[in-house]
Each structure stands twice: as C-alpha cells, then as structure tokens.
Amino acid sequence: MKHKCYIAGIGMTPFGKHLQRSLKSLAHEAVLSALRDANLSQSDLGAAWVGNVGAGVISGQVCVLGQVVLRDIGVGGIPIINVENACASSATAFQQACSMVSLGAHDVALVLGVEKLYAEDKSKTFSVFAGGVDIERQHELLEEKKHRREALSTNIEDTEIQEPRSLFIDIYAEWALDHMRNYGTSRAQLAAVSAKNSLHGSLNSLAQYRSQMTIDEVLLAKEILWPLTLPMCSPIGDGAAALIVVSEKKARQLGMKDMVKVEACELRSGHDFSSEADIEPARLAANHIYEVSGIGPRDLDVIELHDASAISEILYYEHLGLCNKGEGGILVESGSTTLGGAIPVNTSGGLMRKGHPVGATGAAQLVELCCQLRGIAGKRQVAKARTALAENGGGYIGSDVAALAFTILSK
C-alpha cells in the first residue's frame, strides 16, 4: 500500500561482537537515541513493534521479548508486538507499524530491531540459521545443494573445507556457480562486491568491519565453499536499530524539516515458481512496489539491499531492474554501484561489512537511508539523494527466499 507516514527519528548502536552487553542494553541505546532524534519521549509512543530472531535460542527469552527489553526504559501500557520473520524481522516490524500509522490507529510508533548472535556456544548460533528453512526437509536440502554444486563445478572436492557453517552458505555457493555458468560471471566480479562494500564500510563508524579490501585480497582470503571466500559472506553480529514512525498530522506538529517520507512499504512471501516460466519472487515484489509508489529503478538515488553474500547483491541488482538479467557482475565491475557511481548500493557497508545481527538488519538499512536522505551520512553521503529503496529478505523455502520486505523512502 502507499503509505501516509514519516520517519521522525532514528537511532542505532555500533554493530559487532558485544558479548558483555545484554539485549536490553543494546535496545535501550537505539530507542533512546531515536526518541531524542525525534524530540519525543517514551510517553508519546502509541505502539511498538520489536523484531528479533535468535533470543529464544541464544538466551532462552521467548514470548515477551519486546515487553521485556522496553519495560526498563518506561515503555509499557501500549501495544507491543513481537515480530519474527527471518532476516526481514525488523523490516516486517516497520511495514506493520507504517500500515497502522497510515490507517490512523496511532500517531507515533516505535520500530526496534535487536539481536545478539554471538554466543560462547557456537552451536546455538548455527541453530538459529538452521531454522530458516523447512526443517523437515533440511537433510534433503543439503543433499540437493551438494549434488547441484557437483554438477555445476569440477573443483568442489579439491576446495571444499569441512568446517561447521550455516547451510545458507551452500545455497549461496550454488547461486554463484549457476550465475557463473549461465552468464559468465567471474569470481573477480563476486569479489568486487565485497571490495566495494568494504570501501563503504570503512566510512561508517557503526560498521562491524572497517578495514578496506582490494579485489585480490578478497579472492585470497580464507575459502568457505567454492567459489565463496570469507569476505564474500556476511558475518553474524550483535546490535540494535530503531525508528520513530509518525502520522502526517504529527509530522506537521513536529516540523517537517528532517522528516523522511515513507512512499511505500511492501511485505511479501516467496512462492513455488518455475524458473523457466515465472517471474522470480523478488523481481515480482520489486515490480509491485514500483507500481504502487510510482517510483521506478531509474528514479532511485541510493539503495540498501540484502547482501548476505556477494552473489546475493549481484542477483538483486537484476531483480530490482538496475540492469538486465545476467549483467549484475558487469554492473558492479563498472563502478556504478560504488559511491560516486550512478546508483550507489549499500553505502553503509551492507551486511558484509556493517554486520548482520539478523533481527536488527532491516531497521539498520532504513536508518542508513534516512541518513542519506537527510544529508547527514558524512563521507559516505550520496550527493543530492532524494529517493531511496531498501530490500530485505530472509529464509529459504523451495528454491527461493521465504520472506521479502521492500521500502521506498523520499526526502
């Protein structure tokens, strides 16, 4: 739906390894920062949506996580809705909040994404990601991906490293091999995504990794699963990001100077489709939000998308209509998606460098785009940015993503 609401305030913690900090501590920092930014207080909130994925596994906190993390800073007595929707959890929370504000149910709503994935017991972390697929078909899925890789590449046995890893790595490796075979995409082009995002991340004080890498350094890094090296994959992380969503009436009361308008926010799910005959779910979702908003790919100035792996970013270039199918590798290699290029992508550093505390990722993408549209992104500022898009997806069922969230914002 086309929304009638605005983002009045943003807040975010540094992303990284925060073993000594609690979910409450991270949540409080982000929420209080967003309230200060909006010049509002806890008592102004009409409702809150809280996105999280791993707390039930990592800490055992289930059922009332949002109520728990918000109570100590005086947020209670209002609807608090807990949202779990894979990597799209806080993007889903944002979509739900925007819908309710646009429909007139609330004038002020909080959106919070918060996550702690680092744990002393690493098996807990792996089990969070293991639940992002149909667990009844998990073994079948892994066997299917292994056979598919063997069919696509001749050097699997020589290069595969037998270490614990998320099963999503197997999925990304298959996507990469398939794209390389069908379109001639090179490992250097995959590495170009990581190198580009490392440049952007080096300019972001909240990013988990701030060192810059060259294409050669990415290619020579530790191999995870051919053709992917470690920097081609997003890390786990801890952190929180928050946004204050307000109605048009409230925005006028507060003053519109620093407001970011929500043009459209769409939530969809993957579906069974034939790769030969049907449009991919992500491309279908992108086409839909372009139609709803009246804003197309040529109108966008900056994009944050779900680069869970280098091939993910290349595929989303194509799904979003930034280039023709099969030309994503060429697009990143051209420099068009780098700061200073025609359409900068993942100016925050993306998931690969900013970090990927799953439940906080969607909200963090929106925080970055608000910084860009407000002109406060510092050294990574996109000149004259007026229109932005966020794409956030998660989980895997059948042959594609399970949950998808798309948002278009304007200055």
Catalogue the active-site residues. 87
Find the helix packing angle between 310-319 and 187-201, rounded to 10°: 90
User: Which residue's structure tokens are 């590798």?
Assistant: 329
User: For the chain, give me the number of helices (H) and strands (E)?
Assistant: 16, 11
H-type alpha helices, 320-383: 328-334, 350-354, 358-374
Distance CA 212, CA 201 (A): 8
- What six digits make up the tokens of 210? 């701030």
DSSP state of 76: -
Rounded-to-integer distance, Cα 160 and Cα 231, Å: 16
Q: Is 78 helix (H, G, I), strand (E, B) or coil?
A: coil
Nearest to 196 by CA among 307, 57, 44: 307
DSSP string, 151-169: HH-S-HHHH---S---HHH
- C-alpha span between 302 and 182 (Å, rounded): 28
The amino acid sitting at 260 is V
For residue 187, which amino acid is it? Answer: R
Angle between the N-to-C axes of helices 310-319 and 167-183, in degrees from 0 to 180, rounded to the nearest 10:
60
**Tokens of residue 171, six digits:** 């999925």
CB 399 within 8 A of CB 356: no
